[in-house]
Amino acid sequence: MVNLDQIGYRPGDPKIAFVDRYRGGFEVIDASGRAALRGRAAPRGLDPLSGDDLSVLDFTPLNAPGSYRIRLAGGAGESAPFVVAPDPYRDLSRALLKGLYFQRCGVALDRRHAGPWAHGACHLAPALRHGTSVERIDVSGGWHDAGDFGRYVVPGAVTVSMLLLAYELFPQVRWDDLGIPESGNGIPDLLDEAKWELDWMLKMQGRDGGVHHKVTTASFPGFIMPEEDTMGEILSPVSPTATASFAAVMAQACRVYRAIDPAYAARLLAAARSAFAWLEANPGAPQFTNPPGIATGEYGDRSSADELLWASVELARATGEGAYLTGLPEGLPTRGRASFELGWQETGGFAVLAALLGDSGPAERLRPRLAEGYRLYIAEAMASAGKGYGVAVGREDFVWGSNMLVMNRAVHLIVASRLLAESRAESASYLDAAAAHLHYLLGANPLSFSYVSGFGTRRLAHPHHRPSVADGVVEPVPGLVAGGPNPGRQDPEAAAAFAAGTPPMRAYLDSAGSYSTNENAIYWNAPAFFVAAAFTAGDSHP
Ligand code: G3I
Ligand code: 9MR
Ligand code: ZN
């Protein structure tokens, strides 16, 4: 197999394909069957993450737009087709954003916007407040988290935050013609989609400012359509991580919405302030664990210090009030990768970006220390990106949702190209490294597999996504990102399929039963969207 990005490459970008145990020559064949370029495999050595004895095929000089495939000498193999084009990731960016529209809850997805994946309205009945038998609360709306129908505040917050970061950094993706119900309303669809979740999050806040952790059924339903899921939902208790990440993203959103809808921005800020006040009033609040009778995703955490840091920085930035920073621990964590994570559990990276990007107001004083730590983090990522399949991840990153960790690394490299680079060459080196992560997601990996539904030749076909299984449509909902390789053998199919010791990048199954490798999730779409957006053309190109 010849492993490469099955969408393609832009002229001028580095272009590298990967092969296992091959040392010979290769040809890049154009649409008319002629060899447009010839080269030889260059050995890269044994790659522990894939188990591959890797060689790279460098076809960087191929810059003429067109459609191609790579052929190895002596019939040893051929790649999927790919293009060289000035703006190859545009449709991908749009689909990754629209992937969130397909997750909308509490509303019907109509044919005009959802095509064959249209379905009826779901989860409109008020949820029962946990621990009571009669108190019902309307918390309809938001996005289904993943392949299940639960709505969880913690992952919702990081997803919206990533969308808002993309909105701020990439004006080229402020489309208003994505084909969602709000398209054409004069507001970028990116913000309309973010608002769908923000409006739901507002409903999840109690009168005292505390924010409920999640709303789900008691257990996961079978493979049914969302509108068939009528067992009734339960509103789980308030949690400190939900309240803190809520405060952070509401404050961030307030900044963005000020220019667009000042009344809405004021509402968001009031919500952020009252969530923060709840955190101050409840310093010892216990971490969330599933309450009795609830068996859906826990999204638990050891500590909410990172969420609190994030909320402090965003609130200081939104209000200009330095007081929001006074409670911060003396030694801000700025060393080690955990400080920069952009996941649902470790959110320190969102705090770092909030402090480093743009006018961060009183958070400006955190910058020198953060920037120093950031520089070290990026240097480490760059060193690791030069190896194997070109992604800055290690064995420890191959957990449930490894594709998110790959995409998050690329997010940081893209930010570094703007924030740290002191020359054009340095900036280009960060962007090239980031692009390699996108190529990995789209097929430049040992399985020669595109983890995005609807994109690539060998691509995600059977996600653990209830609607895609139950809707009777052959193709899954497009624009979904699979969690990806996870050698943890955390579902029965994965446990049966991988022997212990399977190289981490190969521990993946395109099967709807394998929720630990093949579910989709909103917070896996968001960083993939961010990265694809960075490489989408427009007025302001990265
Ligand atoms: O962080 C530890 C690491 O220290 C340890 O060495 C490693 C070894 O297994 O595990 C790491 O933790 C893993 C954690 O994800 C990392 O974020 C856990 O094993 C793993 O079980 C956990 O998986 C989470 C999964 O839910 C199960 O709780 C995923 O992150 C999370 O994305 C996923 O989320 C689910 C929701 O619960 C329900 N909705 C669908 C959604 C997506 O699958
Ligand atoms: O479908 C569920 C998926 O959304 C979750 O991420 C996953 C882990 O919490 O659990 C899935 O549900 C499975 C359950 O945990 C065990 N029985 C089989 C369910 C999948 O059909
Ligand atoms: Zn629903």
In a domain, 232, yes or no: yes
Domain end among 86, 107, 124:
86
Across 524-542, average pLDDT: 86
**Which among 455, 472, 451, 473 is positioned nearest to 463, based on CA atoms?**
451
pLDDT digits (tens, 9 = 90+) for 319-370: 999 999 987 765 566 778 889 999 999 999 999 999 999 888 999 988 988 8
8 A C-beta contact, residue 456 and residue 442: yes
In the annotation, is 510 catalytic?
yes
Summarize the confidence of residues 502-523 as an average pLDDT. Answer: 98
411 lines ligand 2 (CB under 6 A): no
Cβ–ligand 2 contact at 493 (below 6 Å): no
Residue 538: band (very low, low, confident or very high) from pLDDT cuts 50, 70, 90:
confident
Which protein residues touch ligand 1 with a CB less than 6 Å away?
145-146, 148, 150, 297-298, 345, 399-401, 483, 488, 490, 515, 519, 521
148 is an active site residue: yes
- Position 391 pLDDT exceeds 60: yes
Q: From atom 34 of ligand 1, which residue's Cα is the shortest distance away?
A: 297
pLDDT at 371 over 70: yes
Whether 192 is a known active-site residue: answer no
The strand pair at 82-84 and 35-40 is best described as unpaired
C-alpha 347 to ligand 3 mean position (Å): 26
> Which of 35, 65, 86 represents a domain boundary (last residue)?
86
The mean per-residue pLDDT over the stretch 520-537 comes to 98
Predicted local distance difference test score (pLDDT) of residue 541: 40
Residues 235 and 345 in one domain: yes
Instruction: Kindly state whether residue 493 falls inside one of the protein's structural domains.
Output: no
119 CA from centroid of ligand 3 (Å): 10
List, as one string, the DSSP characters of 172-213.
GG--S-SSSTTTTSSS-HHHHHHHHHHHHHHHTB-TTS-BB-
16 domain-assigned = yes
- Classify residue 488: in a domain, yes or no: no
- Is pTM beyond 0.75? Reply is yes
Q: Please choose from 466, 515, 524 the residue to mutate so as to test ligand 2's pocket, defined by most ligand atoms within 8 A of CB.
A: 515
Question: Are 116 and 183 in the same domain?
Answer: yes
Domain count, the chain: 2
pLDDT (0 to 100) of residue 422: 96
- pLDDT of residue 516 exceeding 60, the answer is yes
Q: Catalytic: 321? A: no
Residue 131 lies in a domain: yes
Same domain, 81 and 207: no
499 assigned to some structural domain: no
Rg over CA atoms, the chain? 23
Strands 52-58 and 16-20: antiparallel
Shared domain for 70 and 104, answered yes or no, is no
Per the domain annotation, does 515 fall within a domain? Answer: no
Q: Are residues 222 and 208 in the same domain?
A: yes
Identify whether residues 414 and 381 lie together within a single domain: yes
For a mutational test of ligand 1's pocket, the pick from 148, 400, 451, i.e. the residue with the most ligand atoms closer than 8 A to its C-beta, is: 400
Mean pLDDT of 418-425: 96
Q: Determine the Cα–Cα distance for residues 416 and 434; give it in Å rounded to an integer.
A: 10
- Asked whether residue 138 falls in the same domain as residue 171, the answer is yes
For residue 508, report the distance from its CA to the centre of ligand 1, in Å: 15
Domain finish residue from 42, 58, 86: 86
Same domain, 393 and 328: yes
Residues 156 and 268 in one domain: yes
529 three-class SS: helix
At residue 508 the predicted structure's pLDDT band, cuts being 50, 70 and 90, is: very high
Q: State both tokens at 371.
A: 């920037």
> Tell me, what's the pLDDT at 216?
98
Residues lying with their CB under 5 A of ligand 3, a single-atom ion: 105, 122-123, 149, 226
- Res 168: pLDDT: 97
What is the Å distance from ligand 3's center to 287 Cα?
A: 26
Model pLDDT for residues 263-293, shown as the tens digit of each residue:
999 999 999 999 999 999 999 999 999 999 9
The yes-or-no verdict on residue 539 having pLDDT over 90 is no
pLDDT band at residue 111, thresholds of 50, 70 and 90?
A: very high
126 lies in the same domain as 22: no
pLDDT at residue 540 greater than cutoff 50: no
Domain identity same for 95 and 168? yes
What percent of the chain is modeled with pLDDT above 70? 98
Q: CATH number for the domain including 284?
A: 1.50.10.10
Residues 6+ apart with CB under 8 A from 278: 208, 209, 210, 211, 238, 243
CATH number at residue 3: 2.60.40.10
Mean pLDDT over the full length of the chain: 96
CA of 313 to the centre of ligand 3 (A): 33
Q: How many CB atoms lie within 10 A of CB 456?
A: 22
Q: Is residue 539, in this structure, part of any structural domain at all?
A: no
What is the model's pLDDT at position 332? Answer: 65
Is the confidence at residue 503, as pLDDT, over 60? yes
Q: 180 lies in which domain range?
A: 90-448+520-534
Say yes or no: CB of residue 297 within 6 Å of ligand 2. Answer: yes
Whether 519 is in the pocket of ligand 2, judged by its Cβ within 6 Å, is yes
- Read off the pLDDT of residues 299-311 as tens digits, 9 standing for 90 and up: 999 999 999 999 9
Same domain, 95 and 156: yes
